[in-house]
């Protein structure tokens, strides 16, 4: 326990010690000053699970469903439990701080980290984040809201400024942070990589001191994103407390010198240090996590059950023609088709990635529902962006073929040195190695070498393709013959946060049943011929993939034939962590070809019997949607992915998820379509406040599936709307009461969504047709009715940002309430009421 007397310690610190506290010492830890009783903090990603301190060969952890799935639960009570479990996981990993949740906005379906955020709607994002933060901090572990603000795309994210109106900044992009701070008081906030209107976020005094600390009166720690600090004086004066990771680039001697010249005043330095000391005290006092604790696991039955429940409640049933679902477990011939069937696509890429305790594939989950009898299966097509990881079909060299994966042997000397000494030997199943935090005390310099070796047995005759991505250099040999050379000539790629090469490929012919030895000769980062940002990646990175090539036309025909003879057809389709990842955005909204052709062919072969299970974190085009009988949006479901999908498909769970973001028909329909990528060092937020459903409704543009939409195996009716205004004026609240009845035959859950429309006789300021201002989720037995309540603060329910006054404005007038189960008004399922504001007023703060 670090019961720090902040002011007393601050007075004792030398200037050098003060500066040392304002930067990390490595990727995950802050500086300790033991002689002053100040311990080190451990921080850990992240957004959908607590990885711990290792990108490379990390300790397994619980992987939660992705952010858009969490948002689609519309269940703040459940998200609070999720947060509690995240906090408990952090303690197991010896971490005091979780770097999440992520609450940036999905301006476009193409965002590389869209899966990581919660919603396109600021209220849903803010309240869902608040629930997660509350749960995390109930354990004493501190949460970190990120990324403040407008880190809404990945393209040149470190070198771009969001050009955004003050109104859009407040109503869309800052509002989730405002709501989460008001509701949950997070311990920390992380700044965004980008700038806003010409000033980088990590040195933006208007954002950090002006909005966060003064206007919202928030007193937590502000840290940079990793390598997201770009200055010494400006960032310190603006309010950035902690530069991460360490060792710092812009603090240290640079900051000491600038303090000595009064470019950074002493009282400003003290304020930054005070913030760090308070945060350290809070973390240790509340969490009870000891300094430098060992990292462990907590793979419990209770965690598994919660992950499964969260995933089920986030799963969205988008189409169920003629009640094709739920499928039958017995008496029907079931087949499973698709590239996502036998792979557990359980998380997106980047900071969200981690080594899961386990991961259930859809095929495994479905097989279990069928009593252990495997359904018919064929892959149909491939969907990879980079070749699938080779380690999953290999056996390691060190184990003599007993262990899955490949063996990494590390050396100080290159392969040309005879009898070189091996300094480390590790068996790895996942052949994607981010070595940024790899440590080996026997290595003598930053330039070191490794052999990565394994064997596989060919399952079929054909052409086998290998792929190598590297930060450093690498050559891949099969049975001693060079197949891929990613060392002699290198090309800059997007992988590994932009530090890696493109995937260089090579092929060999293989014979069924024959064994093949694969060896990769790797050299660390200093050997790289690229410029890029390789210097941030320590030992470097390596990705080794491989797969037997197939003829797509032949495989699609095979899949259609298989489906033709089946009663129940499940297509497991979608994206994966290669397509949706930190560091780059998708170029198109389409599925990887020829997946659309596969789905259409199978649907034609099995009309009325085909259901598509879509795994993606953001929308994809569905040109075949009218052909299939059912569509289930399963997102990235975490450890329990396959069980969650199977529970929904076979009716052991009644789906209750609602889309946390609109699903356009085409990417061209999206309001940010013309203004998404960085150009000339800026990205214009030209859609202004009209993000997501606010835009589609305003211009009457039809979407494939609307925000807030989701079907159930039950049906529900809303009735008896009552609106209670407490009459307290500017501090008043509006209580919405409505009776929900389950008129179906199964127990289920419904989400009551409350939207507010502005007065018809307003000031002339353009406003959305309506905006989500409250929601609640209710569970009902078949035939059961319950009256539910949604309480809203009037000032939040009715405000817009007045750019003349730089304040929130609540206009006088009558506001319409639209109550339903999605953003679309449906006759017979939508109720309407109203409340009044007696006089216009303005406000600031929380």
Report residue 560 CA to chain centroid gap. 34
Q: Is the dihedral of CA 18, 24, 28, 31 positive or negative?
A: negative
Quote the CA–CA distance of 423 and 539 in Å, as a whole number: 15
Quote the CA–CA distance of 166 and 807 in Å, as a whole number: 10
Angle between the 252-260 and 266-287 helix axes, to the nearest 10 degrees? 140
Q: Which of 225, 451, 669, 802 is catalytic?
A: 225
Beta-bridge partner residues of 223:
190, 242
Place of tokens 């509701």: 183
Quote the CA–CA distance of 801 and 167 in Å, as a whole number: 5
Judge contact between 323 and 640, C-beta under 8 A: no
| Catalytic-residue membership of 531 | no
**What is the distance between the terminal CA atoms of the chain, rounded to a whole angstrom?**
32
Burial class (CB in 10 A: 0-12, 13-18, 19+), 418: exposed
Judge contact between 671 and 695, C-beta under 8 A: yes
What radius of gyration do the chain's Cα atoms show? 27
Residues 6+ apart with CB under 8 A from 384: 339, 545, 547, 576, 578, 592
Judge contact between 611 and 572, C-beta under 8 A: no
Distances (CA, A) of 379 to 368, 551, 606, 641: 19, 11, 17, 18
Quote the CA–CA distance of 389 and 394 in Å, as a whole number: 10
Residue among 365, 385, 367 at smallest CA distance from 376: 367
At 733, give phi and psi (nearest 5°): -130, 155
Beta-bridge partner residues of 199:
196
Strands (E), 430-567: 432-434, 449-457, 462-471, 473-478, 481-486, 504-510, 515-523, 541-548
* Both tokens assigned to 478: 């099969």
Quote the CA–CA distance of 57 and 407 in Å, as a whole number: 12
Distances (CA, A) of 573 to 340, 581, 634: 5, 18, 10
Asked if the peptide bond before residue 204 counts as cis, ω within 30 degrees of 0, the response is no
**Any alpha helices (H) in 142-265, and if so which ranges?**
166-168, 175-184, 205, 233-238, 252-260
Any idea how long the chain is? 846
Beta-bridge partner residues of 509:
463
SS3 state of residue 205: helix
Strands (E), 781-821: 785-793, 799-802, 807-810, 813-820
600, containing H or E segment: helix 595-605
DSSP assignment of 302-318 equals HHHHHHHHHHHHH-EEE
SS3 state of residue 485: strand
**Any alpha helices (H) in 50-174, and if so which ranges?**
67-72, 76-92, 122-138, 166-168
Quote the CA–CA distance of 253 and 247 in Å, as a whole number: 12
* Both tokens assigned to 560: 């259609």
At 692, give phi and psi (nearest 5°): 60, -135
* Both tokens assigned to 55: 């990108």
Active site amino acids: 225
């Amino acid at each position: 326990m670090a019961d720090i007397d902040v002011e007393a310690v601050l007075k004792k610190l030398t200037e050098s010690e003060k500066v040392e506290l304002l930067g990390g010492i490595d990727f995950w830890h802050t500086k300790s000053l033991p002689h002053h009783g100040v311990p080190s903090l451990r921080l850990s990603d992240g957004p959908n699970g607590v990885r711990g301190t290792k990108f490379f060969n990390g300790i397994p952890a619980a992987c939660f469903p992705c952010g858009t799935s969490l948002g689609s639960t519309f269940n703040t009570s459940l998200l609070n439990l999720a947060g509690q479990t995240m906090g408990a996981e952090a303690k197991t990993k010896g971490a005091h701080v979780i770097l999440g949740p992520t609450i940036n906005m999905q301006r476009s379906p193409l965002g590389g980290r869209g899966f990581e955020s919660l919603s396109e709607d600021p209220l849903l994002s803010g309240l869902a984040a608040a629930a997660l933060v509350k749960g995390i901090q109930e354990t004493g572990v501190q949460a970190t809201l990120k990324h403040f603000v407008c880190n809404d795309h990945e393209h040149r994210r470190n070198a771009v400024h969001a050009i955004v109106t003050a109104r859009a900044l407040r109503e869309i992009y800052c509002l989730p942070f405002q709501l989460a701070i008001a509701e949950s008081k997070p311990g920390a906030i992380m700044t965004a990589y980008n700038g806003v209107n010409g000033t980088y976020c990590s040195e933006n005094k208007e954002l950090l001191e002006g909005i966060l600390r003064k206007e919202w009166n928030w007193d937590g720690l502000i840290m940079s994103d990793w390598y997201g600090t770009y200055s010494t004086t400006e960032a310190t004066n603006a309010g950035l407390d902690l530069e991460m990771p360490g060792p710092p680039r812009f603090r240290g001697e640079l900051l000491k010198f600038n303090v000595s010249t009064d470019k950074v005043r002493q009282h400003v330095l003290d304020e930054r240090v005070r913030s760090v000391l308070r945060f350290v005290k809070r973390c240790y006092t509340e969490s009870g996590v000891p300094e430098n604790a060992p990292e462990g696991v907590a793979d419990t039955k209770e965690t598994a059950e919660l992950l499964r429940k969260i995933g089920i409640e986030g799963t969205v049933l988008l189409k169920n023609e003629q009640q094709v679902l739920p499928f039958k477990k017995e008496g029907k011939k079931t087949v499973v088709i698709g590239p996502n069937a036998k792979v557990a696509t359980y998380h997106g890429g980047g900071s969200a990635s981690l080594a899961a305790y386990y991961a259930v594939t859809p095929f495994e989950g479905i097989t279990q529902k069928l009593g252990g009898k495997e359904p018919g299966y064929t892959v149909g097509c491939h969907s990879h962006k980079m070749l699938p990881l080779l380690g999953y079909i290999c056996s390691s060299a060190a184990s003599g073929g007993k262990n899955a994966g490949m063996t990494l042997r590390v050396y100080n000397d290159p392969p040309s040195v005879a009898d070189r000494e091996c300094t480390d030997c590790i068996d790895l199943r996942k052949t994607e190695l981010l070595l940024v935090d790899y440590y080996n005390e026997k290595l003598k310099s930053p330039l070191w070498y490794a052999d990565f070796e394994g064997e596989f047995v060919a399952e079929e005759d054909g052409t086998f393709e290998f792929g190598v991505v590297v930060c450093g250099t690498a050559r891949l040999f099969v049975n001693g013959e060079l197949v891929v050379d990613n060392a002699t000539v290198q090309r800059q790629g997007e992988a590994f946060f932009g530090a890696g090469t493109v995937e260089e490929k090579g092929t060999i012919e293989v014979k069924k049943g024959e064994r093949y030895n694969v060896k990769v000769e790797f050299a660390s980062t200093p050997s790289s011929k690229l410029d890029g940002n390789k210097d941030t990646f320590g030992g470097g990175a390596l990705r080794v993939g491989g797969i037997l090539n197939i003829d797509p036309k032949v495989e699609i025909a095979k899949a259609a034939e298989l489906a033709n003879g089946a009663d129940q057809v499940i297509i497991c389709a979608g994206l994966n962590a290669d397509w949706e990842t930190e560091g780059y955005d998708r170029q198109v909204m389409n599925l990887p070809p020829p997946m659309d052709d596969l789905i259409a062919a199978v649907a034609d072969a099995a009309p009325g019997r085909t259901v598509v299970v879509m795994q993606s974190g953001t929308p994809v085009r569905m040109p075949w949607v009218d052909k299939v009988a059912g569509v289930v949006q399963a997102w990235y479901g975490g450890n329990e992915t396959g069980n969650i999908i199977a529970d929904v498909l076979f009716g052991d769970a009644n789906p209750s998820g609602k889309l946390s973001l609109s699903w356009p028909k085409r990417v061209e329909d999206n309001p940010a379509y013309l203004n998404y990528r960085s150009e000339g060092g800026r990205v214009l937020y030209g859609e202004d406040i009209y993000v997501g459903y606010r835009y589609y409704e305003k211009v009457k543009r039809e979407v494939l599936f609307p925000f807030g939409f989701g079907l159930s195996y039950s049906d529900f009716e809303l009735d008896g709307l009552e609106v209670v205004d407490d009459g307290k004026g500017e501090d008043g609240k509006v209580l919405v009461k409505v009776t929900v009845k389950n008129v179906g035959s199964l127990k289920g859950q419904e989400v009551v969504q409350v939207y507010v429309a502005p007065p018809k006789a307003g000031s002339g300021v353009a406003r959305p047709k309506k905006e989500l201002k409250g929601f609640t989720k209710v569970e009902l037995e078949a035939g059961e009715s319950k009256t539910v309540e949604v309480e809203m603060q009037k000032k939040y329910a009715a405000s817009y940002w007045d750019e003349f006054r730089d304040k929130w404005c609540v206009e006088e007038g009558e506001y319409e309430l639209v109550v339903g189960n999605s953003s679309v008004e449906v006759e017979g399922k939508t109720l309407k009421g109203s409340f009044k504001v007696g006089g216009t007023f303005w406000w600031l703060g929380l």
